[in-house]
Structure 1
């Protein structure tokens, strides 16, 4: 993850992190351009959403849906998946 200084645009370094809540953290950051800027600041980092859910979650969801279908439909779907 690349962090840049909001003042001068130089590369910045995360010096520490404080967890605020599940999936939300405050990042304490220092600008590496110490001669001309030297700013220190706090940025937030938060999980927003999945682009691709974890494979295990998808497999469990599919198994749950499959279990609730009538047997003939389960067999038909499983036969199609082997094409």
Structure 2
């Protein structure tokens, strides 16, 4: 992950991280342009959403849905596999 300084837009280094909650963290950063800028700042990073859910979750959801089908439909699905 790359963080840029909001002042000069040069590369910044993440010096530490403080988790605020599950999926949200404050990143403490320092600008690498020490001669002209040298800013230190805090930026927040947050998980937004999945593009593809984890495989384990997908399999669990599919199994749950299949278990709720009538037996005839479950057998039909298995015979088409």
Do Structure 1 and Structure 2 share a fold, with TM-score over 0.5?
Answer: yes
Aligned positions, number: 81
* In structure 1, distance between residues paired with 2:14 and 2:74: 51
* In structure 1, distance between residues paired with 2:78 and 2:35: 65
Identify unmatched segments of 5+ residues in structure 2.
none
Q: 1:44-72: per-residue Cα shift (whole Å, max 9, x none)?
A: 01111111111010001000000010111
Identify unmatched segments of 5+ residues in structure 1.
none
User: RMSD of the alignment, in Å?
Assistant: 0.8
* In structure 2, distance between residues paired with 1:68 and 1:9: 54
TM-score, normalised to structure 1, is 0.93
* 2:47 alignment partner in structure 1: 47
TM-score, normalised to structure 2, is 0.95
